[in-house]
Amino acid sequence: MRRNYEAVIGLEVHAQMRTNTKIFCGCPTTFGAKPNTQTCPVCTGLPGVLPVLNRKALEFTVKTGLAMNCRISPYSRFARKNYFYPDLPKGYQISQYELPVCEGGWVDISVDGETRRIGITRIHMEEDAGKNIHEGGSYSYVDLNRACTPLMEIVSEPDIRSPKDAAQYMRKLRTILRYLGVCDGNMEEGSLRCDANISIRPVGQKEYGTRTELKNINSFRFVEKAIEYEIARQIRIVDEGGTVVQETRLWDSAAGVTQSMRSKEEAHDYRYFPDPDLTPIVVQQSWVDEIRASLPELPDAKQARYTSSFRLPEADADQLTAEQAVALWFEAAVAAGAPPKAVANWMMTELMKHLNDENRPIEECPVQPARLAGLIALIEQGIISGKIAKTVFEEMYATGRDADSIVKEKGLVQISDSGAIEQAVDDILAKHPGEVARYREGDEKLLGFFVGQLMRAMKGKANPQLANELLKKKLV
Amino acid sequence: MHITSAFPEPIVKLNELSIAELRRLLDNREVSAQDVLNDIMGRIDAVEDRVGAYVTVTRDAARAMAERADSALAARRAGLLTGIPLAIKDNICTMGIRTTCSSKILYNFVPPYESSVTSRFAEHGYVLTGKTNLDEFAMGSSTENSAFQTTRNPWNLECVPGGSSGGSAAAVAANECIAALGSDTGGSIRQPAALCGVVGLKPTYGRVSRYGLVAFASSLDQIGPITKNVTDAALMLNVIAGHDPLDSTSAPVEVPDYASFLGKEVRGLRIGIPKEYFIDGMHQEIDHSVRSAIRQLESLGAVPVEVSLPHTAYAVATYYILATSEASSNLARYDGVKYGFRAKGKDLVDMYMQTRAEGFGPEVKRRIMLGTYALSAGYYDAYYKKGQQVRTLIKQDFDKVFEDVDVIATPTTPSPAFRVGEKATDPLEMYLSDIFTISVNLAGVPAISLPCGFTGGNLPIGLQIIGRSFDEATILQAAYAFEQSTSWHTRRPLL
């Protein structure tokens, strides 16, 4: 991106809510069932049926609004968004328009050590559409299993200035939604979707440029790529003396480009109006207070606590709080008595490496948090060395057993008996007179060689500090 | 079936009886549900080809239901409607029984689910005689907008029965059922009831579940009974009134025993007479009959009070903006994709257009276009939003008047039944048929129409009694008092 332009980006994020049943009927929301097996007269839009709001969907939306610092409207409404499409069984989508549940919030994102606040214009509820299936041949098929699944639409202010910030914002939303347990945040499966409104303007200009709306961004990787491409496209147009056309564009991930989908003139007139089948949503303050009290500690608060109370570096705190399950694991290990930084180090290296290699969620980690604390305690107490501890950890991960019993069974207890170490040191010095002479002539790098020999002789169990001390003493 | 000449024809036939009368005969085992059904089916065979009240006569289902009713009666497990043959307007879904809305677009639609009102009927043991004709999707005031047939008025077969519940009203008037259900969006129960000389009750919006009623205008639609007398209306309302978890707009308001209000005297009852409903140039015989009816109520001790509903003049215009707006959206689902009629098309959009062009009749298309226009970007504020504001004013008119009076009495219609074809080419003239009934839907209040006289040409005239929200009891009380002090409800057409 050339330096003389800045991008103005706003995101509309659709999050599929993890309710057990659909938003306006009792059908299950399970993903991947056989087509049209999770449907009923209501979600297939048969003549005469009526929607009834799933209270859980409202609760999830209020929860999300509170977590994103929104005002919760005491009175909101559903509206109908009218358009024809085969996967939309009623010919309209029940959504919210003039009066959404949540308004005026924000989330903070952190990019390159800097915190930026992104405004949330609104969060509203709506129903999802079904899916058209084109399998070739002269027919297309419609699967209505997904129809009427509850969605939240989270609309940001045009506060985002770079593709990287946009991706960071998406990750932050995902983190919060997962903390709240309201959405699984899986972009590839479509439970989290993102449309981007993008424009450019010369740096310093206040007015917005003409924006395009970008659809079909279906992975975190593509959030950045698609927006990057679109910004570059707009700058190229303006630099070549052209003007950006207001339109909806589609991100083509295979080709890595955006393509025009429909112009402003072809834009639908959705003819929104209040849905007369659903009464206004009245949210009592007492219920909002109840939901607020039930909110978990959110990532920002956790992050702050980790850096202040646990004195963790910001990068560690970031990494440990990105997933609630990881954070809770960390906290459990600390609660079992281990020093926070030691837990963080073990988690971010050995533990994560193993879990990532096996693509295993931390909830299924074979090592229990208290057992990692136990391992760390053995190191702290000098019972095993850090090096031995890695071997012990491997065994713990493979078997789920505790460190203590592994160390005892395999005889890995560190030798801190200076007599035994001294004996071994004497043996090694006797075996390597040449090296001893060179060391004494000033080649102090040879100390490492002696340590290696000593450790090998003692199967790694010598207390490293003591070994060093004794070697140095005898080599003088 | 054989008829022995040794016995004289019974003076009263079963098909001529009311729910209350049959209830007694059935419970006393003097007649069986199958006897009653046979008589009704005989009557249908005799007159239906002239009246054309039914889209579908459900003979097999009826027979099975009557047999079940007899078992229940034998076991002394009878409900309020056990063995009573009732007709259902064909825009109310009945599981496994074709429900067409008298539209080509749903000519083959068989609902896989049951409406809440018919579920309640079934719990109470009713016998379904069939699905009655209506103006397509309940849009009309004459039943001439049916895609299948024009129902005739049993009092004069040259005349319309009114609409949109013309099939239900005609079936009741012609004794082709004991009572029926209709739906009322702007007068569709009361106007045909008035034109056919029967009783029609539109309950308060939210009193009766709409689940399973194919929507025309969701904020106005309400299901209600069409019956031979006020007592039956109260009995039917007892069954269908009350909150339904499947309809969020149905109100969790307690339901009284409506029958217990029948026979209560009306002494001191304040009856509002809105001056806007009695205007120069109105139909003289209607004006005369309705004024006589008010005097009759006065003679029973009620107190007439002149009142004003100042926004009445805007009701029809407001209604045709709001009702068509909602309809344009409600009818979007008929796109040929999932059920009902589908026309061939070159591609998806062409299939949509051909399906809707061929599947809907002209009045339905007119209303879809009106509503689409009223909701369009740039027009929404001037039409839909303004319409909602005026609706609020109309509702406030009623609230204000009901601070002072208990009920309001008006004519149900500006004219008696008109001739088939007479208004068919002039939609505006047709829309004015509902001039006295529309405000009630906009305000959401309940109203009943009952016979209060006949024209010189022997066409029925209806009296409308309007009540406070959720106060159906008082209008039933007033209507019953009037009915019992006159004999209009005992007249039946000769067919």
- Report the relative pairing of strands A79-82 and A273-274 from DSSP bridges: antiparallel
3-state SS of A253-269? CCCCEEEEEEECCCCCC
Q: Would the pLDDT of A320 be above 80?
A: yes
**How would DSSP label each residue in A413-466?**
PPB--HHHHHHHHHHHHHH-HHHHHHHHTT-TTHHHHHHHHHHHHTTT-B-HHH
Q: Would the pLDDT of A473 be above 90?
A: no
- Report the relative pairing of strands A114-127 and A150-156 from DSSP bridges: antiparallel
* A276 Cβ under 8 Å from any chain B Cβ: yes
Q: Provide the whole-model pTM.
A: 0.91
**Which residue of B355, B375, B442 to mutate against A (max A Cβ within 10 Å)?**
B375
Count the helices and strands in chain A (H runs, E runs).
16, 16
Residue B121, CB half-sphere, CA atoms under 13 Å: how many?
Answer: 28
Tell me the nearest-neighbour CA distance from B419 into chain A, angstroms: 32
Q: How confident is the model at residue A3 (pLDDT cuts 50, 70, 90)?
A: low
Task: Find out whether A366 and A401 touch, Cβ atoms under 8 Å.
Answer: no
- Active-site residues of B, by number, are 89, 164, 188
Q: Would the pLDDT of A443 be above 90?
A: no
Q: Look at A281-295, A435-449, B379-393 and tell me which has the smallest mean pLDDT.
A: A435-449
According to the model, what pLDDT value does residue B11 have?
61
What tokens does B144 get? 């001439």
Tell me the nearest-neighbour CA distance from B462 into chain A, angstroms: 30
Cite the DSSP H helix spans in A49-136.
55-67
Tell me if B373 is assigned to some domain: no
Tell me if B288 is assigned to some domain: yes
pLDDT in tens, A225-238: 999 999 999 999 99
Specify the number of domains making up chain B: 1
Q: Look at B149-163, B172-186, B422-436, B453-467 and tell me which has the smallest mean pLDDT.
A: B422-436
pLDDT in tens, B289-316: 999 999 999 999 999 999 999 999 999 9
Q: What is the mean pLDDT of residues A56-76?
A: 98
- Report the relative pairing of strands B179-184 and B85-89 from DSSP bridges: parallel
Q: Would the pLDDT of A458 be above 70?
A: yes
Question: How much of chain B, in percent, has pLDDT values that exceed 90?
Answer: 94
Helix or strand run (H / E) with residue B26: helix B19-27
CB contact under 8 A, B329 and A89: no
According to the model, what pLDDT value does residue B5 have?
45
* Class of domain A418-475 (CATH, top level): mainly alpha
Radius of gyration of chain A (CA): 30
B337 interaction partners in chain A (CB closer than 8 Å): 86, 89, 142
Task: Find out whether A346 and A372 touch, Cβ atoms under 8 Å.
Answer: yes
According to the model, what pLDDT value does residue B10 have?
54
- Report the relative pairing of strands B303-307 and B270-274 from DSSP bridges: parallel
d(CA B406, CA B379): 39
Q: Would the pLDDT of A268 be above 90?
A: no
Q: What are the Cα distances from residue A6, in Å, to A161, A163, B60? A: 7, 11, 74
pLDDT in tens, B245-256: 999 999 999 999
What range does the domain containing B144 cover?
14-313+392-490
pLDDT in tens, A366-379: 999 999 999 999 99
Find the distance separating the first CA and the last CA of chain B, reported in whole Å. 22
According to the model, what pLDDT value does residue B9 have?
53
Question: B251: nearest CA in chain A?
Answer: A279
According to the model, what pLDDT value does residue A453 have?
85
Tell me if B4 is assigned to some domain: no
According to the model, what pLDDT value does residue A32 have?
84
Q: How confident is the model at residue A362 (pLDDT cuts 50, 70, 90)?
A: very high
Q: Look at A426-430, B257-261, B460-464 and tell me which has the smallest mean pLDDT.
A: A426-430
Radius of gyration of chain B (CA): 21
Tell me the nearest-neighbour CA distance from B189 into chain A, angstroms: 18
**Which residue of A277, A281, A282 to mutate against B (max B Cβ within 10 Å)?**
A277
- Report the relative pairing of strands A212-217 and A192-202 from DSSP bridges: antiparallel
Burial of residue B107 (number of CB atoms within 10 Å: 0-12, 13-18, 19+)? middle
According to the model, what pLDDT value does residue A476 have?
77
Q: Among partner residues B115, B328, B337, which is closest to A48 by beta-carbon distance? A: B115
CB contact under 8 A, A47 and B109: yes
Extended strands (E) in B316-446? 407-411
Burial of residue B191 (number of CB atoms within 10 Å: 0-12, 13-18, 19+)? buried
- Report the relative pairing of strands A75-76 and B460-467 from DSSP bridges: unpaired
**How would DSSP label each residue in B365-384?**
HHHHHHHHHHHSTTTTIIII
Smallest CA-to-CA distance from B213 within B304, B131, B300, B314 is with: B131
Tell me if B354 is assigned to some domain: no
According to the model, what pLDDT value does residue B347 have?
92
Tell me if B344 is assigned to some domain: no
Tell me if B167 is assigned to some domain: yes
According to the model, what pLDDT value does residue A10 have?
98
Tell me the nearest-neighbour CA distance from A48 into chain B, angstroms: 4
What tokens does B152 get? 């005739």
What tokens does A413 get? 């207890």
* A188 Cβ under 8 Å from any chain B Cβ: no
A46 interaction partners in chain B (CB closer than 8 Å): 93, 111-113, 339
Residue ranges covered by each domain of chain A: 5-289, 297-410, 418-475
Residue A145: partners with Cβ closer than 8 Å, 6 or more residues away: A33, A35, A36, A37, A38, A39, A130, A131
* B354 Cβ under 8 Å from any chain A Cβ: no
d(CA A25, CA A40): 8
What tokens does B147 get? 């895609």
CB neighbourhood size of A206 (10 A): 5
- CATH code (residue B430): 3.90.1300.10
Q: Would the pLDDT of B394 be above 50?
A: yes
Task: Find out whether A132 and A141 touch, Cβ atoms under 8 Å.
Answer: yes
Q: What is the mean pLDDT of residues B192-203?
A: 98
| Cis amide leading into B164 (omega within 30) | yes
| Averaged pLDDT score across all residues of chain B | 96
pLDDT in tens, A106-123: 999 998 889 999 999 999
| Interior angle at CA B301, CA B296 and CA B303, nearest 5 | 85
pLDDT in tens, A135-189: 878 888 999 999 999 999 999 999 999 999 999 999 999 999 999 999 999 998 8
Q: What is the mean pLDDT of residues A125-135?
A: 94
d(CA A297, CA A324): 9
Q: Would the pLDDT of A353 be above 70?
A: yes
According to the model, what pLDDT value does residue A201 have?
95
Q: Would the pLDDT of A421 be above 90?
A: no
- Report the relative pairing of strands B127-132 and B85-89 from DSSP bridges: parallel
* B165 Cβ under 8 Å from any chain A Cβ: no
Tell me if B365 is assigned to some domain: no
What tokens does A179 get? 């903390």
Q: What is the mean pLDDT of residues B331-350?
A: 96
Q: What are the Cα distances from residue A354, in Å, to A326, A368, A398? A: 14, 14, 10
According to the model, what pLDDT value does residue A213 have?
95
CB contact under 8 A, B93 and A48: yes
pLDDT in tens, B90-131: 999 999 999 999 999 999 999 999 999 999 999 999 999 999
State the maximum Cα–Cα separation within chain A, in Å, rounded to a whole number. Answer: 99
Beta bridge partners of B180: B87, B226
Task: Find out whether B146 and B134 touch, Cβ atoms under 8 Å.
Answer: yes
State CA A291 to chain mean position distance.
23
Q: What is the mean pLDDT of residues B348-356?
A: 97
Task: Find out whether B186 and B139 touch, Cβ atoms under 8 Å.
Answer: no
Sign, CA dihedral A16-A22-A28-A33, equals negative
Q: Among partner residues B109, B249, B375, which is closest to A273 by beta-carbon distance? A: B375
